[in-house]
Structure 1
Amino acid sequence: MKAAIYSRKSKFTGKGESIENQIQLCKEYAFNHFSINENDVLIYEDEGFSGGTTDRPQFQLMLKDAKNKKFSTLICYRLDRLSRSVVDFSSTMEELQQYNISFVSIREQFDTSTPMGRAMMYIASVFAQLERETAAERIRDNMLQLAKTGRWLGGITPTGFESEPVVYIDPAGKERKMYRLSPIAEEFEMVKLIFDKYLELKSLTKLEQFCIMNNFKSKNDVDFKRYSLRFMLSNPVYAIADKEMYNFLLENSYEVYCDENEFTGEFGVMAYNKTQQDKKNPSCRYRDVSEWIVAVGAHKGIIPSATWIKAQKLLLQNKSKSYRKVRNSSCLLSGLLKCRNCGSYMRPKVSRPNKDGEITYYYMCEMKERSKRTRCDVKNVQGNNLDKAVVQEIKKLSMSDSELYTTIQNDKFTIQAAQNTVENEIALIDGKIKANEQAINNLVTSLSQGQNSTASKYIITQIEELDKQTAELKGRLLKLKEVEENNQSKEQNLDVMKSILSAFSKNIDTVDIDAKRMFIKSIVENIVWDGENVEMNLFGANSEKKQLPPTETI
Structure 2
Amino acid sequence: MPKRVAIYSRKSKFTGKGDSIENQVEMCKDYINRNIGQDVEFTIYEDEGFSGGNLDRPKFKKLMHAIKSKKIDILVCYRLDRISRNVADFSSTLEILQSHNCDFISIKEQFDTSTPMGRAMIYIASVFAQLERETIAERVKDNMLEMAKNGRWTGGKIPVGFISERNTFIDENGLPREITQLVINEDEMNLVKFLYEKYLELGSLHKLEVYITQNQIKSRTGIMYEKSTLKIILQNPIYVKANSDVIEYLKNNNWSIYGNTDNVHSLLTYNKTEQTKKNGKFIKQNKPLSERFAAVSSIEGFIEPELWLKVQEQFANNKTKFPRLGKTHNALLVGKLRCGRCKEYMLIQHGSVSNVTGKKRFYYTCSLKRKSHKALCDNDNAKADTIERLVMLSLKQLSYTKEEFLNSLKEQYKEKSKANSIGIEKISLEKSLLNKRNQIDNLVEKLSLTSDISEVLVNKIKTLESECKDIELKIKNLELEKSKLKIDMLSTQIIEKHLNDCRCIDTLPREKQKEIIDCLIDVIYWYGSGRGNGGIKIKFIGSDESDEEVEYTEEELTKILQNGLSGMTCI
C-alpha separation in 1, matches of 2:412 and 2:497? 15
Shift of 1:513: 1.9
Shift of 1:238: 0.8
Question: Helix, strand or coil for the counterpart of 2:518?
Answer: helix
Q: Which residue of 1 aligns with 2:551?
A: 548
- Structure 1 residues not aligned, in runs of 5+: 1-12, 17-46, 61-79, 94-103, 110-120, 453-460
Matches within 5 A, 1:85-164: 85-86=85-86, 89=89, 132=134, 135-145=137-147, 148=150, 150-164=151-165
Shift of 1:144: 2.0
Label 1:200 to 1:387 Cα distance change in 2 as closer, same or farther (>3 A): same
Matches within 5 A, 1:260-339: 260=260, 263-278=261-276, 285-288=285-288, 290-316=290-316, 318-319=318-319, 321-324=322-325, 327-329=328-330, 332-339=332-339
Residue identity matched to 1:411 = Q
Label 1:108 to 1:428 Cα distance change in 2 as closer, same or farther (>3 A): closer
Shift of 1:132: 4.7
Q: Which residue of 2 aligns with 1:233?
A: 234
Q: Which residue of 2 aligns with 1:487?
A: 485
Shift of 1:393: 2.3
Question: Helix, strand or coil for the counterpart of 1:508?
Answer: helix
- 1:535–1:545 Cα contact (<8 Å) kept: no
Percentage of pairs with the same residue: 23
1:196-236 residue CA offsets vs partner (Å, 9 max, x unmatched)? 44455554444444444444444554444443333223211
Question: Helix, strand or coil for the counterpart of 1:298?
Answer: strand
C-alpha separation in 1, matches of 2:217 and 2:409? 46
Question: Helix, strand or coil for the counterpart of 1:373?
Answer: coil
Q: What TM-score results when the alignment is normalised by the length of structure 1?
A: 0.63
1:467-488 residue CA offsets vs partner (Å, 9 max, x unmatched)? 9799986665444323322332
1:97-131 residue CA offsets vs partner (Å, 9 max, x unmatched)? xxxxxxx969899xxxxxxxxxxx9xx99997995
Shift of 1:430: 5.7
- 1:328–1:350 Cα contact (<8 Å) kept: no
C-alpha separation in 2, matches of 1:536 and 1:522? 13
**Aligned residue-pair number:** 451
- 2:521–2:541 Cα contact (<8 Å) kept: yes
Shift of 1:175: 5.1
Q: Which residue of 2 aligns with 1:525?
A: 522
Q: Which residue of 2 aligns with 1:369?
A: 370
Shift of 1:360: 6.1
Shift of 1:240: 0.6
C-alpha separation in 2, matches of 1:546 and 1:238? 51
Q: Which residue of 1 aligns with 2:411?
A: 410
Question: Helix, strand or coil for the counterpart of 2:295?
Answer: strand
Question: Helix, strand or coil for the counterpart of 2:183?
Answer: strand
Matches within 5 A, 1:505-520: 505-520=502-517
- 1:349–1:364 Cα contact (<8 Å) kept: no
- The reply on whether 1:536 has 2:534 as its aligned counterpart is no
Question: For 2:494, which of 487, 493, 496 is the aligned residue?
Answer: 496
C-alpha separation in 1, matches of 2:247 and 2:400? 71
C-alpha separation in 1, matches of 2:136 and 2:184? 37
C-alpha separation in 2, matches of 1:359 and 1:250? 42
C-alpha separation in 1, matches of 2:131 and 2:520? 43
RMSD in angstroms over aligned alpha carbons?
Answer: 5.2
Shift of 1:549: 1.8
- 1:339–1:345 Cα contact (<8 Å) kept: yes
C-alpha separation in 2, matches of 1:390 and 1:513? 13
